[in-house]
Structure 1
Amino acid sequence: MSLRKTIWALVAMLGLQAAHAQERGPVTNLPIPRFVSMKATEANVRRGPSLTHRIDWVYKHRDMPLEITAEFGHWRRVHDRDGAGGWVHFTLLSGVRTVVVTAKEVELKILPQPDAKAVAKLEQDVIARLGACDRTWCKLSVDGLRGWAPKSAVWGVRDDEIRK
């Protein structure tokens, strides 16, 4: 067992959390887990990381946010906001960040403040491009509209994630 695995096993055994440690993908060396979006309009979601594995379903929405939880060769294990997922070929994914509105309705604000003027209302399941985020707000853009929404109203960004 490597030193790194031994340390992680000890941390898990003691019930400790490593505040700043994050696993890296063995293929890309990028953080795991991480959010991406669908580049393609359709993507087969397979049971395992190869073309010989059964297709469980097909994602059919370009720009849908997904979370990568594992890497194997040219394949990425992903899941959507409902927890459904499987293995998708990396060419069908994009590093462009998007989020999906999970609240029944959310107002886009001109500033990241609850009492700021609203510029638009987004309904549940709307997909928006993700911009900057502070501790509680994220800047979103959709169909030419831009504004700030509470981080708690969307899926596709970590609670502790800060973006500039």
Structure 2
Amino acid sequence: MSKLFEDYLSELQTDMVAICLEYVENKAEDIYIYCSYEPEMYAFDVFYRINGQVVLKNNVNTAINEDDTSYDTSEERQEAVLDIGLKDLEEIHAKCKEYGRDMPTEIKMHYNVQQNSLKAQYKYDLIYSEDEELLPDDIFDFWFEEIKKSS
């Protein structure tokens, strides 16, 4: 049986979750993944809820308990996560083209680790490319602050 578009999308999103989960050695409550594509610009980033604290990938060690070993948050490791996420996002775009689907301009994924549950929101309208000051990092930061405040 041949794969459907949704199968490829699911596999690529699962890979994004897996690499982000590996980064924190499977020790997070929630993973929040941000993907963006607006003409000729891809963006990918991630933040976490660890021990009830919402933290950026470079600050995950601020959320660990005394008894826990610290995470490797080296620049090389962070770049590796981002590179894999971007590669997966580019592959999603390629599959959208192959299957004649619109490429989302934004994908926000929330993975609940304990429940093994992934929820994704997709947008198709341009968000930042028509704004002279707004960048993908700004949208990511807004979402991070929104989740942090609601915690």
TM category (shorter chain) comes to under 0.3
Larger Rg: 1
Q: Using CA pairs below 8 Å that are at least 6 residues apart, which structure has the higher relative contact order?
A: 2
Q: What TM-score do you get using the length of structure 1 for normalisation?
A: 0.23
- Greater fraction helix: 2
- Greater fraction strand: 1
Q: What TM-score do you get using the length of structure 2 for normalisation?
A: 0.25
